[in-house]
Amino acid sequence: MVSDASVRLGNLRVLTTHVAMRDGVRLATDVYVGPTDIPRPCLVIRTPYGRRFQVAETYAHPGWYVSRGFVVVCQDTRGRGDSEGEFRPFETEAEDGFDTLAWVASQPFCDGSIGTYGFSYPGAVQLDAASLAPPQLRAMAPAMTAADIGTGWMYRNGALNLSWVLSWSAELGRATALRVHDLDAAGTFGDLLSQPSQLVGALPVGSCFSPGLSEHVEYLADWLGHAPGDDYWRRLSPAAELKTSVPSLFIAGWYDVFLESTLRAFERLDSQGCPARLMVGPWWHTPWGRFVGDEDFSEEAGNVIDEAQVRFFAHFLAGEANGVEGEPPVRLFVMGENDWRSFEHWPPSTSRVETLYFHSDGRSNSLNGTGRLDTCPPTADEEMDLLASDPVFPVSPAGGRSCCYPEISPMGPADQRGHEIRNDVLVYDSQPLEADLLVIGSPTASLWVAADRESADLVARLVDVSQDGRAVNVSDANARLAFEVGGPPKEVRLSFSPTAVLFRRGHRIRVDVMETSFPLFDRNPHCKVSPLQATLADFDSVTMAFARSPTSCSSLGLPVVDRETV
């Protein structure tokens, strides 16, 4: 290898070079090696966020991995950092990743075994490269990421991940503006990131970026102009149909914006017989650790990722007999219990569904209402709950699953009572539990709903209510729906985000139902105008009716695991 520069930090050497891709574009690459020239297994991480900082922002520094017997290769993706080319998110990552792995395998510091790691975008580029079946790839550890960019990254069940997409675009735009020395634009992007109402409140969506800013994030127009699942997103998602036998360690967080996407990727490979493993902690996107939002999940939730990755790579790259092969492939952190449990499958095959039914006398609105959950289905028609919602005055819940600016869209676990006092939130409570209840998997809900507008959203949250009244979100669901105005209630099935939580004896199970969750999602204008094209003048209120009867039972399904059998 011919390096552009070499720096020594104690026993650590850092070699810098530029690696040519198939089209001649050269990508800036740092290679971290130990004091000897013995070829070793290599770990590769490719990032658009700065190869000398972001790789050590959440993971241990590459030097730590070197001290464990690896060579670490850190690369700025195309058009980012010191790399050449134009940054077009996801568009060339499969080919660039393939070419980078081929280069690493040809170098004297590599013993022929290569693994990849990284979370978020550096997780997606691993999956993209794997889609081309590079022969040098022997193991990968994609964390908190998505294989399908349209449905797993940008949109969730038809709604735009508004705060995430716009804040990420502003962050990318700022970096691009700095790269071309447009300091005014960089400063304006920074101002938007510090002024949430201007960033996420602009209408139509995306108009917060003036023409002078939009030229630095031209791809945003494509993201907003293409519906999830169309050909544009298929081209941008080469890993959506990934087939590989490469051993894989997937890492996820119960409060991460990409939770479902990461689990879907694991389940896909696992169903193919790939030696895939899964680890899910109580984390949001970053940083990982015991303190998440308002919660302290104990020392057990501390960053255990580096140790897990080293054991995984040591086994699959270096052939170390360290016990990994004999361990159950699924490791989950159970919130409320605040400890790890291991399983042979995801979701656990030992789970059963416990059903609770929604009831009220027609006044489930807010904490002051009469909404309840119990095990008895309706025996007669009950009064409907009516929910009026206005997108001009949206519900903005505490906590949730967004990224990566809590001041723009709150993340993680949080007390929900601040928004549960609103009448445009339906609240349903169980009686205090007589025994602990362990829920592991994806809760579901069936609601019978009618609306006086042709389109409306549903947002629901599963909440753990402690004996002192504190109400903490543990799972969520959303749907963008079409209605027949004046038609009868129709059944709407919601799939909540996967979770692992122990509802303690004396706690209550709560479900909050609302029509908006802003700025987590874009707002539905309740008319024929697209939510992404709507202006304030297009917004209209909606009233939704929630019916319950013996033939239209609204219910909550909880995947329950016997605590003593796992």
Q: Quick: pLDDT tens for 546-562.
A: 999 999 999 999 999 98
Q: CA 323 → CA 41, 269, 319, 327, 405, distances in Å? A: 19, 22, 11, 7, 39
Per-residue pLDDT of 68-92, as tens digits, reads 999 999 999 999 999 999 999 999 9
Average pLDDT value for residue range 113-128? 97
Q: CA-CA distance, 297 to 289, in Å (whole number)?
A: 8
Compute the distance between CA of residue 512 and CA of residue 508 in angstroms, rounded to an integer: 13
Q: Look at residue 234 and tell me whether its pLDDT is greater than 80.
A: yes
For residue 165, CA distances in Å to 93, 149, 520, 533 come to 19, 12, 10, 16
What per-residue confidence (pLDDT) applies to 287?
79
The predicted pLDDT at position 12 comes to: 92
Q: What pLDDT is recorded for position 58?
A: 86
Phi/psi-derived region of residue 261, left when phi > 0, alpha when psi is between -120 and 50, beta in every other case:
alpha
Rounded CA-CA distance 354/373 in Å is: 12
Residues 6+ apart with CB under 8 A from 185: 173, 174, 177, 212, 213, 216
**ω before 519 within 30° of 0 (cis)?**
yes
- Beta strands 40-47; 71-76: pairing state: parallel
Confidence of residue 2 (pLDDT cuts 50, 70, 90): low
Is pLDDT of 1 > 70? no
User: 157: how many CB neighbours lie within 10 A of its CB?
Assistant: 18
Q: How far apart are CA 383 and CA 360, in angstroms?
A: 7
What is the C-alpha to C-alpha distance for residues 154 and 149, in angstroms, rounded to an integer?
6
Query: Any idea what the Cα angle at residue 222 is, between residues 390 and 268, rounded to 5°?
Result: 90
pLDDT attached to residue 57: 81
Instruction: Count the neighbouring beta carbons within 10 Å of the beta carbon of residue 386.
Output: 15
**Is pLDDT above 70 for 526?**
yes
Left, alpha or beta for 396 (phi > 0: left; psi -120 to 50: alpha)?
A: beta
**Listing from the earlier edge strand, what are the strands of the sheet with 71-76?**
5-9, 12-20, 26-33, 71-76, 40-47, 110-119, 137-143, 248-253, 276-281, 330-334, 339-343
* Mean pLDDT score of the chain: 95
Report the pLDDT averaged over residues 455-484.
97
User: For the chain, which residues make up each domain, given as ranges?
Assistant: 5-147+245-339, 159-227, 352-560
CATH number, domain 352-560, options 3.30.530.20, 1.10.10.10, 3.20.20.140, 2.60.120.260: 2.60.120.260
What percentage of the chain has pLDDT greater than the value 90? 89
- Comparing 404 with 360, the larger pLDDT belongs to 360
Q: What is the pLDDT of residue 405?
A: 84
- Residues for the chain: how many in total? 566
Give the pLDDT confidence score for residue 229 in this predicted structure. 86
Handedness of CA 321, 323, 328, 334 (dihedral sign): negative
Mean pLDDT of all residues in 103-108: 97
pLDDT-derived band at 505 (thresholds 50, 70, 90) equals very high
Angle 162-179/183-193 helices, nearest 10 degrees?
A: 160
In angstroms, what CA-CA distances link 203 with 196, 478, 555?
14, 22, 36
* Residue 206 binned pLDDT confidence (cut-offs 50, 70, 90): confident
Q: How many CB atoms lie within 10 A of CB 287?
A: 11
**How far separated are the first and last CA of the chain, in Å rounded?**
51
Confidence class for position 197, pLDDT limits 50, 70, 90:
confident
- Rounded average pLDDT over 172-200: 94
Q: Determine if the peptide bond prior to 347 is cis (ω within 30°).
A: yes
SS (H, E, C) 477-497: EEEEEECCCCCCCEEEEEECC
Q: Note whether 460 and 511 are within 8 A (CB).
A: yes
Is the distance from CB of 356 to CB of 363 less than 8 angstroms? Answer: no
Each residue of 410-468: pLDDT tens digit?
899 999 999 999 999 999 999 999 999 999 999 999 999 999 999 999 999 999 999 99
- Single-letter amino acid, residue 42: C
**Full-model pTM:** 0.96
- As a whole-number percent, the residues of the chain with pLDDT over 70 amount to 99
Residue 476's SS3 state is strand
| CB 492, CB 513: distance < 8 Å | no
User: Could you give the CA distance from residue 275 to residue 247 in angstroms, rounded to a whole number?
Assistant: 5
| Segment 146-153 mean pLDDT | 95
What is the domain class of 5-147+245-339 according to CATH?
Answer: alpha beta
> How many whole angstroms separate alpha carbon 214 and alpha carbon 225?
14
Residue 111: strand, helix, or coil? strand
Residue partners of 190: CB distance under 8 A and separation at least 6: 174
pLDDT above 70 (res 269): yes
Query: Which tens digit of pLDDT belongs to each residue from 317-375?
Result: 999 999 898 999 999 999 999 999 999 999 998 779 999 999 999 999 999 999 999 99
Q: Tell me if 129 sits within 8 A of 105, measured CB to CB.
A: no
Q: Answer whether residue 244 shows pLDDT above 70.
A: yes
Place of tokens 């294989």: 147
Report, as an integer, the average pLDDT of 367-394: 95
Positive or negative, the CA dihedral 209, 212, 217, 222 is positive
If phi > 0 it is left, if psi is from -120 to 50 it is alpha, else beta; for residue 467 that is alpha
Indicate whether 565 pLDDT > 80.
no
pLDDT reading at 114 higher than 90: yes
In 3D space, the residue among 128, 96, 134, 142 whose CA is nearest the CA of residue 114 turns out to be 134
